[in-house]
């Protein structure tokens, strides 16, 4: 069809040129987007025969940004994605594959630490630009690597009877031990979880007693912050059973890995350890009381707690304080040490009979807990202590094997970075 001004007076050569220019620009724009997409999915790193794309690199970096991980997110993503490829190659060669239900459970547990459901957590990541599959791959690799390490090294990680007996002597079966610790305990909730998790990773790298004390004064939420987190000597058997081998494995100056507590994350630095002459007591049950005060760690709630503390000498006195109030305002329990929540157990470890702590909160920080030690019942059996100790030793050794084997894989790999 031929255009002319007589048959189509509204279409001029200038308009035809404009249409042609727009069409050309559209083609150029489409070509540019295709090229960008091709670059996005092109190799950023080659690890042996496996590829890490620029898309994966940016997704992992964005995940670290959302979790407030310290350091350069791109550089951290490069390092960890190389590690992931090495882990996947090892697990693939071993025929290990995480089941779908195990991945789902792991994601749920991760979300719970952020005080969210798995759906809420995945949605929050999506709103931040991280695809669900990115986080799923992150979890899947971790699960499969854990299974690989256990299958390869578990038999070599089991302590001998002689090693267990020697360790039991350290935790109280023989002469007993006491420890001099410093603590940093940081409250965690749905709003601050990413920042707190990133912070404790950095604090765990501290090697100086003075530096740890400064961090405790700045970040810790317990009363010991005024002393730079320094606690007095504690018999090791006062501490939660599952933490005893972890803490005794620390050399003076070393800091523990971050330890999860209800509503908080804890770090401990070993300052000194001593043997107790004549042995130390072990306990089958610990009795304690919790009185709940509205207002969290507000000035008003802490003032009420101080007034109550001045009025009572034993746990029985709390019944008079709670008289006429709702029954749930006061809890009194007697439990084996292994059944007591870690945050409560750690506070009780510092207390003698009749002493009080106001370091803890509940209801996402909205309620202050006045915690009182009622008494300890001596233990008659070593079975539970022995089982906890064995598990702690195994986990420490598996972690060491994991790090060593990954270092070996990296040293043997052909890694090409673009």
Q: Are residues 142 and 168 in the same domain?
A: no
In a domain, 33, yes or no: no
Domain-terminating residue out of 127, 142, 157:
157
Query: Does the CA dihedral 280-392-371-254 come out positive or negative?
Result: positive
Q: Are residues 185 and 109 in the same domain?
A: no
Q: Are residues 132 and 222 in the same domain?
A: no
Q: Which run of H or E residues covers position 267? A: strand 264-275
**Residue 386: its pLDDT value, please?**
73
Q: Which range of residues forms the domain containing residue 225?
A: 161-280+382-398
In a domain, 417, yes or no: no
Q: Are residues 213 and 323 in the same domain?
A: no
Q: Are residues 184 and 150 in the same domain?
A: no
Q: How many domains does the chain have?
A: 3
pTM higher than 0.85: no
Q: Are residues 253 and 288 in the same domain?
A: no
**Residue 89: its pLDDT value, please?**
96
**Residue 280: its pLDDT value, please?**
58
Residue 31 CA to residue 402 CA, distance in Å, equals: 46
**Residue 279: its pLDDT value, please?**
52
Q: Are residues 254 and 392 in the same domain?
A: yes
**Segment-wise mean pLDDT, segments of 10 residues, the chain, 418 residues:** 42 46 42 50 92 95 81 87 95 93 90 82 92 93 95 90 67 63 88 85 91 94 92 88 85 90 89 72 84 93 95 94 92 89 91 93 88 82 68 85 92 91
Question: Which residues make Cβ contacts (< 8 Å) with residue 144, sequence separation at least 6?
Answer: 87, 88, 91, 96, 97, 98
Length, in residues, of the chain: 418
**Residue 22: its pLDDT value, please?**
44
Q: Are residues 54 and 138 in the same domain?
A: yes
**Residue 278: its pLDDT value, please?**
53
Tell me the CATH number at 374. Answer: 3.10.50.40
Tell me the CATH number at 149. Answer: 1.10.4030.10
In a domain, 343, yes or no: yes
**Residue 418: its pLDDT value, please?**
79
């Amino acid at each position: 069809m031929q255009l002319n001004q007589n048959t189509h007076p509204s279409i001029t050569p200038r308009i035809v040129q404009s249409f042609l220019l727009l069409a050309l620009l559209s083609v150029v724009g489409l070509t540019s987007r295709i090229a960008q997409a091709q670059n996005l999915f092109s190799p950023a790193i080659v690890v042996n025969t496996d590829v890490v794309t620029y898309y994966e690199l940016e997704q992992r970096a964005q995940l670290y940004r959302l979790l407030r991980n310290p350091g350069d997110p791109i550089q951290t993503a490069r390092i960890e994605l190389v590690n992931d490829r090495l882990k996947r190659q090892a697990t693939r060669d071993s025929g290990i594959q995480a089941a779908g239900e195990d991945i789902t459970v792991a994601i749920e547990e991760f979300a719970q630490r952020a005080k969210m459901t798995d759906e809420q957590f995945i949605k929050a990541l999506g709103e931040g630009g991280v695809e669900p599959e990115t986080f799923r791959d992150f979890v899947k690799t971790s699960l499969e690597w854990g299974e690989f390490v256990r299958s390869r090294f578990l038999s070599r990680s089991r302590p001998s009877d002689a090693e267990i007996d020697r360790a039991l002597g350290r935790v109280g079966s023989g002469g007993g031990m006491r420890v001099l610790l410093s603590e940093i305990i940081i409250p965690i909730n749905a709003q601050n979880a990413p920042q707190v998790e990133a912070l404790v990773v950095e604090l765990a790298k501290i090697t100086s007693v003075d530096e740890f004390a400064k961090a405790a004064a700045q970040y810790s939420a317990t009363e010991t912050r005024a002393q730079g987190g320094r606690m007095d000597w504690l018999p090791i058997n006062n501490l939660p059973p599952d933490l005893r081998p972890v803490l005794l494995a620390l050399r003076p100056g070393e800091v523990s890995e971050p330890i999860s507590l209800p509503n908080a994350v804890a770090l401990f630095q070993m300052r000194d350890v001593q043997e107790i002459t004549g042995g130390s007591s072990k306990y089958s049950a610990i009795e304690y009381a919790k009185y709940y005060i509205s207002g969290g760690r507000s000035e008003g709630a802490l003032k009420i707690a101080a007034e109550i503390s001045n009025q009572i000498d034993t746990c029985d006195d709390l019944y008079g304080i709670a008289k006429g109030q709702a029954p749930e305002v006061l809890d009194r329990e007697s439990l084996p040490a292994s059944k007591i929540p870690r945050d409560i157990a750690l506070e009780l470890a510092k207390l003698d009979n009749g002493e009080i702590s106001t370091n803890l909160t509940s209801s996402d920080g909205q309620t202050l807990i006045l915690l009182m030690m009622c008494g300890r019942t001596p233990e008659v059996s070593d079975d539970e202590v022995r089982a906890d100790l064995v598990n702690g030793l195994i986990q420490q050794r598996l972690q060491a094997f994991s790090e060593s084997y990954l270092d070996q894989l990296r040293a043997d790999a052909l890694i090409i970075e673009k």
